[in-house]
Amino acid sequence: MRITRGYKSDQVEDRRAQGSTGGGGLGGGGGGGMGLLVMLFQRFGLPGVLVGGAFLYFTGGLGGGGSSSPAAGVSPSGSTADLAAEQPLVELVSFVFDDAQSTWTDIFAKSGQQYQLAQLVLFRGSTRSGCGVGEAAMGPFYCPADQKAYIDLGFYEELKRRLGAPGDFAQAYVIAHELGHHIQNLLGDSDRVHKASASARDGERGLSVRLELQADCYAGIWGHGTQRRDLLEAGDLDEAFKAATAIGDDALQKQATGTVRPETFTHGSSAQRKRWFNKGFESGDPAACNTFAAEEL
């Protein structure tokens, strides 16, 4: 992906040098269905990592949902050398975050609405958010209470090493998905889903799955704009598809337990995640992302 090297964003707050803050995992009000995937972890008894406001989970020794253990390879209070090594990632996520927000500013303006900027917080180990204490073991997440997305950049090593989804556009997809949850927060979709009954939220056709697939579609809308502006390089789209496929509920459950249980889905299958990202990417139209009205996901 072509980005502006040395890019800095006024909307990115860097807390990496502050070290970890004490406390437990995220409390109520966490964005993107985090609490629902915590329950999924408890149901399976799986160790793992929560990503993207319960974006995905990893198996194997990283601590369960809400664990205070940082992601593998991430020190709680990184040295100056660690911070310098992450600088290319800082520039990437900063550029992607601002570029995606610019895309949504234009989309909102065309519909006569005013977009409210979100912020992105970079941290190491753990940090406080408006939804409680967020930890590296939870992965990237969005908090609707403070309208901020959070990421420990050590997560990207896990995305590449554990799930085999390397590449800068796979990394960008994570940020664009989190911003998708911000769009849902602004439009009231997140609140409606979280207030719905458990029976309405749960399952492979439930509201939680539809919310996450819509965030994938919104990420694709941003990707559509990058393609029009010639920011994509050869292989970028495949990187996003590979990431979307790797984090489908069916793929992750099969990897973790050898069994797929659609009734416990919270984010959609691999095919669904890829399909809805691609719908946004091909159309560039938010109307194409109405997963709540879709008969077939």
Confidence class for position 158, pLDDT limits 50, 70, 90? confident
Phi, psi (degrees; rounded to nearest 5) at 96: -60, -45
Is the pLDDT at 237 greater than 60? The verdict is: yes
2 within domain boundaries: no
The pLDDT mean for the chain works out to 84
6 within domain boundaries: no
Phi, psi (degrees; rounded to nearest 5) at 201: -80, -35
Residue 4 Cα distances to 8, 167, 234, angstroms: 9, 17, 18
124 within domain boundaries: yes
**Burial of residue 84 (number of CB atoms within 10 Å: 0-12, 13-18, 19+):** exposed
For the chain, state the CA radius of gyration. 17
> Taking a C-beta distance cutoff of 8 angstroms, is the pair 245, 273 a contact?
yes
8-state DSSP, 196: S
Tell me which of 41-45, 126-130, 194-198 is least confident. Answer: 41-45
- How high is the pLDDT of residue 291? 98
267 within domain boundaries: yes
1 within domain boundaries: no
Confidence class for position 68, pLDDT limits 50, 70, 90? very low
Q: Total structural domains in the chain? A: 1
Determine the Cα–Cα distance for residues 101 and 115; give it in Å rounded to an integer.
9
Is the pLDDT at 51 greater than 70? The verdict is: no
Question: pLDDT tens-digit profile of 84-127?
Answer: 899 999 999 999 999 999 999 999 999 999 999 999 999 999 99
> Taking a C-beta distance cutoff of 8 angstroms, is the pair 60, 47 a contact?
yes
Residue 30 belongs to domain spanning: 12-293
- How high is the pLDDT of residue 76? 44
- How high is the pLDDT of residue 56? 35
- How high is the pLDDT of residue 81? 75
Determine the Cα–Cα distance for residues 48 and 162; give it in Å rounded to an integer.
11
Tell me which of 64-68, 98-102, 142-146, 285-289 is least confident. Answer: 64-68
Q: Which residues contact 151 (CB under 8 A, 6 or more apart)?
A: 93, 120, 121, 122, 123, 139, 140, 174, 175, 178
286 within domain boundaries: yes
